[in-house]
């Protein structure tokens, strides 16, 4: 008779849990997100996606050589919509386990870049909280992507003496 021991069950469960991040990225659907248009607008520059679903869809369907990035920003996650803290915890764990390590970045490293693009989603507050009124940055809307998203170019202002 086949018995399923506790150690074997634990090993199977651990494998399933380790594969969840990969499966999530592979199964993400771009629900009306025109990834090809975003790739065209980005023109080889990385796009910072501040909404988890957009990030996963971009990871899965992006054809641009520059991979999308997700900003790990606990401060903004605490001040934004309630889903922000869950997304932060999930992606911090993904990165800690080695998944999407180069694509999930601390916001401070993104902010250190001379310029970057943000796919701003109306369901999040990251751009509004961290960039829109921040005197370190200037920004312009490159294009509306759809009714709830816009692609924004952010540039670091020169340091004043």
pLDDT at residue 23 is higher than 80: no
Question: Environment class of residue 54 by beta-carbon count within 10 Å: exposed (0-12), middle (13-18) or buried (19+)?
Answer: buried
pLDDT band at 1 (very low <50, low <70, confident <90, very high): very low
Q: How far apart are CA 63 and CA 152, in angstroms?
A: 19
pLDDT at residue 154 is higher than 60: yes
Residue 145 neighbours by CB under 8 Å, 6+ apart = 33, 34, 37, 38, 41, 119, 151
The 10s digit of each residue's pLDDT in 82-130 is 777 888 888 899 899 988 888 999 999 999 999 999 999 887 889 999 9
Q: How far apart are CA 71 and CA 69, in angstroms?
A: 7
The 10s digit of each residue's pLDDT in 61-71 is 888 778 899 99
What pLDDT is recorded for position 113? 93
pTM: 0.76
Q: How far apart are CA 43 and CA 149, in angstroms?
A: 18
| Number of Cα atoms under 13 Å in the Cβ half of residue 93 | 12
131 or 15, higher pLDDT:
131
What pLDDT is recorded for position 18? 67
Phi first, then psi: give them for residue 146, nearest 5 degrees: -160, -165
pLDDT band at 141 (very low <50, low <70, confident <90, very high): very high
Contact call for residues 151 and 141 (beta carbons, < 8 A):
yes
């Amino acid at each position: 008779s086949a018995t399923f021991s506790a150690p074997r069950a634990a090993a199977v469960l651990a494998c399933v849990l380790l594969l969840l991040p990969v499966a999530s990225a592979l199964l993400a659907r771009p629900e009306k997100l025109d990834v090809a248009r975003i790739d065209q607008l980005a023109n080889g520059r990385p796009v910072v996606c501040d909404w988890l679903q957009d990030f996963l869809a971009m990871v899965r369907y992006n054809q641009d050589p520059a991979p999308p990035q997700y900003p790990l920003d606990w401060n903004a996650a605490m001040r934004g919509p309630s889903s922000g803290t869950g997304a932060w915890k999930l992606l911090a764990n993904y990165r800690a386990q080695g998944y999407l390590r180069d694509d999930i970045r601390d916001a401070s490293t993104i902010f250190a870049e001379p310029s970057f693009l943000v796919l701003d989603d109306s369901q999040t507050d990251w751009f509004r909280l961290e960039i829109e009124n921040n005197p370190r940055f200037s920004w312009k809307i490159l294009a509306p992507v759809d009714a709830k998203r816009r692609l924004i170019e952010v540039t670091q202002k020169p340091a004043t003496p």
